[in-house]
Amino acid sequence: MRLCKNGEWQEVIVDDYFPCYPNGGPIFSKCGLNEMWVLLLEKAYAKLHGGYKNLTGGAPFEGLADLTGCPTTSFNLKDDKVRHMIDSGKFWDLVTHFQDECYLLTGSTAPQDMWTEQGTPAPGMDRGMMPGHSYTVLQAKEAKGQKLIQLRSPFGRLNWRGDWSAQSPQWT
């Protein structure tokens, strides 16, 4: 496999031995029936980064840089400069420009435990967002003064249940 690390393309040779549970099945990534590409890619990525243990807690922009060799950037929505961009509308303009230029866009939630100390769901869980997960941005559209971003969940198990969800009364 060819992966890009620190801006330099490297060939990584892997075998087809994967870490599995004692009773069968891979420990880390899972894939569909008769597919091995996910396991092979994960193994190459782990080898490139010094082992499976080093793959925890990665950010989408880091993985995209390694897979594509292209420069990436990340925006923290809690950062003061980014908040100013959001308030002024410049961030929306940037997102729609990136979409128009066919950039790969992702969004992710902050990594945290599934439950807070009070035993209540983590922020966003009640509306269908998983903490510590990345989502593909499918499209960003503005209609009748509403700015909407369509996300795709990597697992497809949870659906957004907040404003503008599939069952939302805001749709007409």
6-33 pLDDT tens trace:
899 999 999 989 999 998 889 988 887 7
Can you give the pLDDT at residue 160? Answer: 81
Domain assignment present for 83? no
Alpha carbon distance 38, 54 (integer Å): 17
Domain assignment present for 167? no
Residue with tokens 């998983």, as numbered in its chain: 130
Q: What is the pLDDT of residues 119-143, one digit of tens each?
A: 555 555 566 777 778 899 999 999 8
Can you give the pLDDT at residue 122? Answer: 55
Q: What is the pLDDT of residues 62-121, one digit of tens each?
A: 889 999 999 999 999 999 999 999 999 999 999 999 999 999 999 988 766 545 555 555
Domain boundary among 20, 46, 68: 68
Can you give the pLDDT at residue 153? Answer: 82
Domain assignment present for 88? no
Domain check: are 6 and 52 in the same one?
yes
Q: Are 85 and 91 in contact (CB under 8 A)?
A: yes
Can you give the pLDDT at residue 67? Answer: 92
Domain assignment present for 31? yes
Domain assignment present for 91? no
Domain assignment present for 136? yes
Domain check: are 7 and 63 in the same one?
yes
Domain carrying residue 138: 105-152
Alpha carbon distance 37, 41 (integer Å): 6
Domain assignment present for 96? no
Domain check: are 7 and 64 in the same one?
yes
pTM > 0.85: no
On the 0-12 / 13-18 / 19+ scale of CB atoms within 10 A, 117 is exposed
Domain assignment present for 170? no
Domain boundary among 68, 92, 126: 68
Can you give the pLDDT at residue 156? Answer: 67
**Number of domains within the chain:** 2
Domain check: are 58 and 109 in the same one?
no
Q: Are 1 and 41 in contact (CB under 8 A)?
A: yes
